[in-house]
Amino acid sequence: MRLTISREKLQEALVAVSAAVPSKTTLPVLGNLLLETTDRGVRISGTDLDISVSMEVAADVETGGGITVPARKLSEIVRELPPSPVKLSAMGEQRIVLECGKSKFKLLGLPKDEFPAFPSVDFKSAWRVKSGQLQQLISHTAFAVSVEESRPILNGVLWEVREDTLRMVATNGHRLAKMEQPFEGGTKADFIIPPKALEQVRKLFPADEELEIARGENHLAFRSPFVSVYTRLIEGPYPPYDQVIPRDNDRLATIDKAELLSALKRMSVVASDQTHRVKLSFNSAILKFSVQTPDLGEGQDEIPVRYEGDPMDIGFNGVYLLEILRYMPTEQIRFTLKHPERAATIEPEAWADSGKYMCLVMPLRLVD
């Protein structure tokens, strides 16, 4: 293998693909990137066996071939190179020479045959989705997944594809995020996808690109002309999330998002590191905040609010509220409540978008 590539394009591909390379592995080849020549240049691939990413970039190929190269060392070298063309030459199956200007490096690799094959996915039955739609769905829901290993099914994002709707849902059992977008795909399927894979989809594909999406036996693949992302799916039925979304919350509060964020940040300073509990007291014109942490101290604050309903005190995990508010796309948010022990919903107020967005948060007891 012998080729010449711009340092910038090589750097871009290495940054993109290296995200799929595990930091620790008992299988040495997984710490490597696969470099293969193509008709259009060179394809660079990485995998941790759960997520696989490849990117094809333009290059002048003199001799075809392939080799695997240590991902971290190659990335570190290329990052420090001057902005000049990079020459890559494979010497046999296990050594590659990199030249750029007066810099020259030799790295030991492994034969390309040792690199795991990408999952088998048939793109003949693929459907198409705008990358921008996926990016919006992912960024507004994936934050809510669980990070605990006790319920693996909640470690993934549920993606429901319907004939006229794309919907993503994520929850950790205490908070939930759900977003819908109109869709004209004419297909129906449900997938539970690891958030790490969705993050690669969100980052690697331009918003205006149309993606091909296809399913294998237990994998899902996303493909554009130059980039491919494959992910293993999480198996099992997703909990019936729709049953926990309240339909009869009759107390409504409209709040300025920036003011609510600021107040919660101030209260979080003295909230418990274990529960992060903040008490919210709603009445017709004022929303009061209070925190009492026995071994630290207490705090109070208040902001204006438009509230319809009887006055009510309710406790929430302040960290959960702050995370949800960061993803609310409007300056005003709508809070609906029913009872201090019932779930509350948070939605964007007067959102000029064709989609629908809703977050749910479970309350905390005000008395231990």
- The domain that contains 321 carries what CATH number? 3.10.150.10
Average pLDDT over residues 160-188: 93
In this structure, the strands spanning 86-90 and 344-348 are unpaired
Query: CA-CA distance, 60 to 141, in Å (whole number)?
Result: 41
Residue-range definition of the domain harbouring residue 268: 245-361
Residue 327: pLDDT band with limits 50, 70, 90 = very high
- Percent of the chain scored above 70 by pLDDT? 99
Q: Write out the two tokens for 301.
A: 């604050």
Question: pLDDT at position 95, please?
Answer: 93
- Where does residue 218 rank: exposed (0-12), middle (13-18), buried (19+ CB within 10 A)? exposed
Last residue of a domain, one of 223, 242, 261: 242
Q: What is each CA distance from 227 to 108, 144, 157, in whole angstroms?
A: 26, 27, 22
Q: Judge if 148 and 166 occupy the same domain.
A: yes
Residues 175 and 73 in one domain: no
Q: Is residue 367 part of a domain?
A: no
Q: How far is CA 240 from the centre of its chain?
A: 22
Q: Compute CA 66 distance to the chain's CA centroid, rounded to the nearest angstrom.
A: 31
Do 298 and 353 fall within a single domain?
Answer: yes
Question: In the prediction, which pLDDT does 257 show?
Answer: 97
- Residue 95 included in any domain: yes
Per-residue HEC secondary structure of 198-233 comes to HHHHHHHCCCCCEEEEEEECCEEEEECCCEEEEEEC
Please determine, for residue 368, whether its predicted confidence score (pLDDT) is greater than 70.
no
The share of the chain scoring above pLDDT 90, in percent, equals 90
Task: Look at residue 330 and tell me whether its pLDDT is greater than 70.
Answer: yes
Q: Which two tokens stand for residue 283?
A: 């009445």
> 74 pLDDT exceeds 70?
yes
Assess whether 275 and 356 both reside in one domain. yes
pLDDT tens string 184-202: 876 889 999 999 999 999 9
On whether the CB atoms of residues 190 and 153 are closer than 8 A, the answer is: no
Average of pLDDT values for 35-59? 96
163 against 104, higher pLDDT: 104
Pairwise CA distance, residues 197 & 257, whole Å: 30
Residue 207 CB coordination number (10 Å): 12
Question: Same domain, yes or no, for 326 and 313?
Answer: yes
Per-residue DSSP letter, 118: P
Q: Is 239 helix (H, G, I), strand (E, B) or coil?
A: coil
The β-bridge partners of 293 are: 297
Query: Within this chain, do residues 258 and 224 fall inside the same structural domain, yes or no?
Result: no
Q: With 0-12 CB in 10 A as exposed, 13-18 as middle and 19+ as buried, what is 147?
A: exposed
The pTM of the full predicted model, rounded to 2 decimals, is: 0.92
Distance of CA 229 to the CA centre of its chain: 13
Q: Both 156 and 236 in a single domain?
A: yes
Residue finishing a domain among 207, 223, 242: 242
* 3-state helix/strand/coil string of 38-105: CCCEEEEEEECCCEEEEEEEECEEEECCEEEEEHHHHHHHHHHCCCCCEEEEECCCCEEEEEECCEEE
What is the C-alpha to C-alpha distance for residues 267 and 270, in angstroms, rounded to an integer? 6
200-224: average pLDDT: 95
Instruction: State the Cα–Cα distance between residues 206 and 174, nearest whole angstrom.
Output: 33
Examine the domain organization and report whether 257 and 212 are in the same domain.
Answer: no
Q: With contact defined as beta carbons under 8 Å apart, do 152 and 189 qualify? A: no
CA dihedral 231, 232, 234, 240 (to 10 degrees): 40
58 and 83 inside one domain: yes
Total domain count, the chain: 3
Q: How many CA atoms lie within 13 A of 225 on its CB side?
A: 8
Place of tokens 């592995």: 25
pLDDT exceeds cutoff 90 at 181: yes
| Residues whose CB is less than 8 angstroms from the CB of residue 346 and which lie 6 or more positions away in sequence, other chains included | 321, 324, 325, 328, 333, 334, 335, 358, 359, 360, 361
Question: Of 210, 242, 274, at which residue does a domain stop?
Answer: 242
Q: What is the pLDDT of residue 302?
A: 97
Q: Among 45-49, 181-185, 225-229, where is mean pLDDT lowest? A: 181-185
